[in-house]
Structure 1
Amino acid sequence: MSDGNNDTRQLLVNGLSDAVGFVGGALLGFWLGKLLGLDIFAPGYGTGSLIGIAMVGIGGGLGLHVARRWQTSRRSQPSKD
């Protein structure tokens, strides 16, 4: 019966780490864009806005990738049970 709890716990950890990685990466992309003077909320879709939006998307994707690599490295470590 504890296998179901471990599976549920693992799924929760995976989902939370994916979410934290994606949101954290997107925020890093947003703030890096702000530092470079790119405003994603500027009126219209100028070049600066589009590049800023792309930076948010790329940051989110990279953050998700880092979270998935962390999950993989956690699974390959021996259990502490």
Structure 2
Amino acid sequence: MSTAQQLLLEGGSDALGFVGGALLGWGTSHVLGFELFAPGYGATSLAAIALVGLGGGLGLQLARRWRQARAAADSSSR
């Protein structure tokens, strides 16, 4: 795999992991009744913001672990 393809895979998987995780965090906050875009910074709004951030971070970490597992599988098959 060329360097450009490798960088594209890295950036794309990071972006998809982060956005997917953030959307799951938003969905979780919505199900729990926390309003992300409520006026002001009340407790429920802050909890929703925290869940979105946590989801984005976890999604990013999952994407990076997926890439590591994929690289390990590629190197062991050679």
TM-score, normalised via structure 2 length:
0.93
Q: Report whether the alignment pairs 1:40 with 2:36.
A: yes
Where does structure 1 differ by over 4 angstroms across 4 or more consecutive aligned residues?
none
Alignment gaps of 5+ in structure 1: none
| Equivalent residue runs for 1:1-20 within 5 Å | 6-20=2-16
Which residue of 53, 70, 73 maps to 1:74?
70
Distance 1:44 1:10 in 2: 42
Give the counterpart letter for 2:45 in structure 1.
Answer: S
TM-score, normalised via structure 1 length:
0.89
Tell me, what secondary structure is at the counterpart of 2:74? coil
Give the counterpart letter for 1:18 in structure 2.
Answer: D
Tell me, what secondary structure is at the counterpart of 2:2? helix
- Percent identical pairs in the alignment equals 55
Alignment gaps of 5+ in structure 2: none
